Amino acid sequence: MATVMERIQRGTPTFSVEFFPPKTDEAERTLWNTVRSIEPLDPAFVSVTYGAGGSSRDRTVRTTGRIATDTTLTAMAHLTAVDASMDDLRHVIGSYAEAGISNVLAIRGDPPNDKDAEWVPHPAGFSYTEELVHMVRRLGTFCVGVAAFPYLHPRSGDEDSDTRFFVQKVKAGAEFAITQMFYDADQFLRMRDRIAAAGCEIPIMPGLMPITNPKAMERGADFSGAALPAAMTERLEPLVDDAAAFREAGIDLCVELSQRMYDEGVGNIHYISMNRHPAVVDVVQRLGVAATPAV
């Protein structure tokens, strides 16, 4: 399987898509409809998330492995250190290797049930992402990515400490980063500039999600950890009672933000799909980065 680094370094703008492992048979059918609809568009890669404390570990391994073996897509699996011992993590990494997965996004992860709670390491686990990155690199020939935070990591005291911890993850072996979801382009660019000023220039991919309904607007603010920019809410709030107009405005905003990212030199944008394809398909086709029209 190709690595994420190989796939994003094509010399032209690319995109990637994030899924989460399904919990029911119906959800699995929805996911695979999405996977098959996105496959002809030739994303650089697709990723599958991983629940806190291993709550979706087996489904993540199974789903990512099936993508790797049954489709033409390059697959990446998430891996978190929450509530996991080093033995647990070795087992998961081995399962990824056996499933033919060669790309891993290593993240420390949020506390289960309450992402804002105090983070407590497993007694036999890791305290920092850089330790997890070291382990993944040591146990196989994986291409490893990490997270970046335009609004600062929730537990970073200031920009200097946030930058320092990010650089440590890169020194541990990370080759690329994907940001926490954001909607403020300037916040991303400031983060990228301060990381580059520290001598670290790995690819940092924006994590974006099209806002297509009022519930997604609330979810976007929660996932990003910051209020949506005023300019976005001013365009969306008057349309909350008009589903079609709201969706169109949300797609417009995502296309505009994505184009700004490409114009600023970003090579790949990572779209959070919520396991449904229409909004992501609309965005990438309007941007002209999809290989073919979707079926």
Which of these, 258, 259, 286, lies nearest to 272 by C-alpha position?
A: 258
Catalytic residue (choose from 6, 18, 28, 175): 18
Instruction: Give the three-class secondary structure for 93.
Output: helix
Cα distances (Å, whole numbers) of residue 227 to 65, 153, 155, 189, 235: 36, 15, 18, 18, 15
Residue 136 contacts residue 144 (beta carbons within 8 Å): yes
Active site residue 98: no
Cα distances (Å, whole numbers) of residue 265 to 3, 9, 34, 229, 246: 21, 12, 29, 22, 29
For 242, counting Cβ atoms within 10 Å of its Cβ (0-12 exposed, 13-18 middle, 19+ buried), the class is exposed
Residues belonging to the active site: 18
